[in-house]
Structure 1
Amino acid sequence: MKISETHTVENIIVPIRLQEYAVGIFKTIPTKSGIKKAIKKRRVLVDGRIASTALYIKGNETIELLQEEDSPQKKHFKFPIEVLFEDDYLAIIYKPAGILVSGNSFATIDNALSQNLQKSTLSNATRPRPVHRLDYPTSGLLLIGKTTESITTLNRMFEQKEIQKTYHAICIGKMERSGEINISIDDKNAFTLFEVIQTTPSPRFNFFNLVKLNPKTGRKHQLRKHLFAIGNPILGDREYFLEGLILNGKGLFLHASSLSFTHPFTLEKVNIKKELPKKFKKIFP
């Protein structure tokens, strides 16, 4: 494997474990969990030798990161993906409901990207990677990085809230026309704006509401938890629901409908939208 990044250690007073020291030294692996995984995959060299998590850094070492390459024996998941935007740096694709973005499973969007996207012609091209997540039951737009630099840059843009995401959901019960939900999740600030677009009566659920959602933070299950917290859970949610008000067999009515941002390399305005799934239109034609 080729060396993708190199770091030279300066003088250190107190030795520190490699997995602690290496957090943040590589652009393509900004997290501690990512560093530990890279070390276990034998992708980290210290002074030319494969490193272990038990290794201590004492100062003046050269730390190198090997480029991750797909094994020739690795099978790709054959799954057709709708591509709505693509260039050498990034892509925006549509993720259907009922499929994982990534993880240990074989059937993931991550494992199907290489067959659906054009390989970048840039020198720092890498295997295409999703730079954010959508829940398994959620449909909608997913942003993909195609170079090591774009993956790092897009992750930073998400952290700095430079990428605007809009969702649409169908929620149940009587709702205010618009509002702000500011309820902590896992002891972290979480903030969501909502606007009711349409409302229709429902004999079983009282009301159905077509709601536009703009999350201002990115906590796990934020939209689902926030709407449940105000008494208007998303239709079809089997984790956050009101007793006796579960819709079976139709899935979750939550859709990531638009992504808007300034392209970090071409500086063009990117604003991609994806129409609501058919199941939404059966309730709100």
Structure 2
Amino acid sequence: MDWYTYVIEDKNIGKRIDLFLSEELKDVSRSFIQKLIKNKNVKVNQNYVKANYKLKLNDVIDVKIPEPEILEINPEPIELDILYEDKDIIVVNKPQGMVVHPAPGHYSGTLVNALLYHCSDDLSGINGILRPGIVHRIDKDTSGVLMVAKNDLAHQNLTLQLKEHTITRKYNAIVYNNIIKDFGTINAPIGRHPIDRKKMAVTNKNSRQAITHYTVLERFGQFTFIEAQLETGRTHQIRVHMKYIGHPLLGDPVYGPKSQPFNLNGQLLHARVLGFKHPSNNKYMEFEAPLPDYFKNIIEKLRKKSN
């Protein structure tokens, strides 16, 4: 258990306590700090406060960071759609609705639980017990191709390819409204939403460069079927970028309209193509996951409606 004490000086008067602590405790997130405050691990002048408490001169803040819980992630016999596997990597087609790795509220039924059962101890340990083998993620309600590392050398190699933007990542999506241009590029930085911290947004503050290339595949009047290719890989990148240009994804409960047609379970976004150099022999490999049936059914409905 760690303890921290701070005394507030002039420059921090009026600042929210959660923001102040997130600036001081750089190794933890603001959401974690808010949880500390909610669980009464933070005191100001020996009194508990809320996350929006505004600091005053000479306030004394005491912070207690409890020891992390030891979590056990169990293997589960969940069927995997395996596109490729060898001693270094495994490539899977993740279904919509499956969480990639355990997190609060999702400690079972994840892709990691399934991988632990299938691969046993043959997964890289770089990302710890919660994310063994996980090199990159796609959202719970996004389906499609994911690569997983079975040892640390493969993990390091694939991570470097991601960093250097040499991996091919093509997605299919259905978006609102008619995209007039046949293709285009969105180059707009993405960071945390300034108000809603659960969302991402195009912003110049505390953001990173994000580039998405898109091509129109088919138009349906009020909707457009596209291919989106990632040059960078930021959280929710395609969803945020398409909303930014006025074309949020159909079914997106976070970035789309509140009222959604077709009674969908999430955004119509599918990671269709993934290409990379094999970490052992450096040969380029490319994998494709066909559109899931629910996605194809919506396309057929939109075709009939537009005709």
Within 2, Cα distance between the matches of 1:121 and 1:209? 39
Aligned to 1:211: 226
Match of 2:143 in 1: 139
Aligned partner of 2:286 among 258, 262, 271: 271
Post-superposition Cα deviations, 1:4-52, rounded to whole Å, max 9, x if no partner, equal xxxxxxxxxxxxxxxxxxxxxxxxxxxx78xxxxxxxxxxxxxxxxxxx
Q: Which residue of 1 aligns with 2:118?
A: 116
Q: For residues 185-264 of structure 1, what are the structure 2 equivalents within 5 Å?
A: 185-186=190-191, 187-201=207-221, 206=222, 208-242=223-257, 244-245=259-260, 248-264=263-279
Judging changes above 3 Å, is the alpha-carbon distance between structure 1 residues 169 and 257 closer, same or farther for their aligned structure 2 residues? same
Q: Does 1:280 align with 2:295?
A: yes
Distance 1:178 1:147, change over 3 A: same
Displacement of 1:264 = 2.2
Report the AA paired with residue 91 of structure 2: I
Partner of 2:49: none
* Structure 2 residue aligned with 1:101: 100
Q: 1:238 to 1:120 in 2, by over 3 A?
A: closer
Cα offset, 1:119, TM superposition: 6.4
Aligned to 1:184: 189
Aligned partners of 1:106 and 1:224: how far apart in 2? 25
Residue 77 of structure 2 aligns to a residue whose secondary structure is coil
In 2, Cα distance between equivalents of 1:250 and 1:268: 37
Equivalent AA in structure 1 for residue 172 of structure 2: H
Q: Is the 8 A contact 1:131 1:151 kept in 2?
A: yes
CA deviation after TM superposition for structure 1 residue 239, in Å: 0.5
Gaps of 5+ in 1: 1-31, 34-52, 54-70
Aligned counterparts of 1:275 and 1:167: Cα–Cα separation in 2: 11
Q: Deviations over 1:123-182 (max 9, x none)?
A: xxx995121011111000111000111111111111111211111101110102110111
User: Shift in Å at residue 184 of structure 1?
Assistant: 1.4
Q: 1:242 to 1:249 in 2, by over 3 A?
A: closer
CA separation of 1:114 and 1:245: change in aligned 2, threshold 3 A = closer
Q: What amino acid is aligned across from residue 253 of structure 1 in structure 2?
A: L
Distance 1:153 1:243 in 2: 41
User: Quick one: distance in 2 between partners of 1:222 and 1:185?
Assistant: 7
Aligned residue in 2 for 1:79: 78
Cα distance change of structure 1 residues 121 and 219 upon mapping to structure 2, 3 Å threshold: closer
Query: What SS class does the counterpart of residue 90 from structure 2 fall into?
Result: strand
Letter in 1 for 2:143: S
What is the CA RMSD across the aligned residues, in angstroms? Answer: 2.8
Greater fraction of residues in strand: 1
Letter in 1 for 2:81: E
Larger deviation, residues 101-110 vs 236-245: 236-245
Cα distance, 1:220–1:74 mapped onto 2, change above 3 Å: closer
Q: In structure 2, do the counterparts of structure 1 residues 87 and 173 end up closer, same or farther at CA, with 3 Å as the change threshold?
A: same
Matched, 1:151 2:146: no
* Contact 1:84–1:92 (8 Å) recurs in 2: yes
- What letter matches 1:190 in structure 2? A
Give the paired residue count. Answer: 211
TM-score by length of 2: 0.62
Shift of 1:244: 4.4
Shift in CA distance, 74/190, structure 1 to aligned 2, threshold 3 Å: closer
Percent of aligned pairs with the same amino acid: 30
| Paired residues of 2:123 and 2:151 also in contact (CA < 8 A) | no
Unaligned runs of 5+ in 2: 1-26, 29-64, 66-70, 192-206, 301-307
Task: Supply the distance in 2 between the matched residues of 1:254 and 1:96 (Cα, whole angstroms).
Answer: 11
C-alpha distance in 2 between matches for 1:87 and 1:245: 41
* Preserved CA contact (<8 Å) 2:178 2:220: no
Q: Which amino acid aligns with 1:197?
A: L
Once the two structures are superposed, the pairs formed by residues 9-48 of structure 1 within 5 Å of their partners are: none
* TM-score normalised to structure 1 length: 0.67
For 2:246 and 2:107, the matched residues in 1 are separated by 37
